[in-house]
Amino acid sequence: MIQRKVIAVIGSSVVELPDDQQQLPYHVGKWIAEAQCHLLTGGGPGVMATAGKGFCSVSSRVGLSIGVIPDGKLAGTYPNAWIE
């Protein structure tokens, strides 16, 4: 069994980030997937969702997009669409 590294992306849950702040987590998520690692986020919107979107855009990835969901969050906000 191959053990893959887990890389966490931590950031704001603000949905409406400036374009430059949306591009960075997207590319970081994509890089994590290309490095054959797992992605770990808080599973919510904003930076977490953008990193997950970049991660899941890599069709050849072997890692998983993992979200640690806070207790008491509203459905529809957590988990984001990119959590597996």
pTM equals: 0.91
What DSSP assignment string belongs to 22-48? Answer: HHHHHHHHHHHHHTT-EEEE-S-STHH
Q: What is the pLDDT of residues 9-24, one digit of tens each?
A: 999 998 888 887 889 9
Question: What's the confidence (pLDDT) of residue 19?
Answer: 84
What are the residue ranges spanned by the domains of the chain?
A: 6-67
pLDDT beneath 70: ranges in the chain = 73
Question: What's the confidence (pLDDT) of residue 82?
Answer: 95
Whether residue 63 contacts residue 40, with contact meaning beta carbons closer than 8 Å, is answered with no
d(CA 5, CA 28): 15
User: In this structure, how many other beta carbons lie within 10 angstroms of the beta carbon of residue 82?
Assistant: 21
CA end-to-end span of the chain: 20
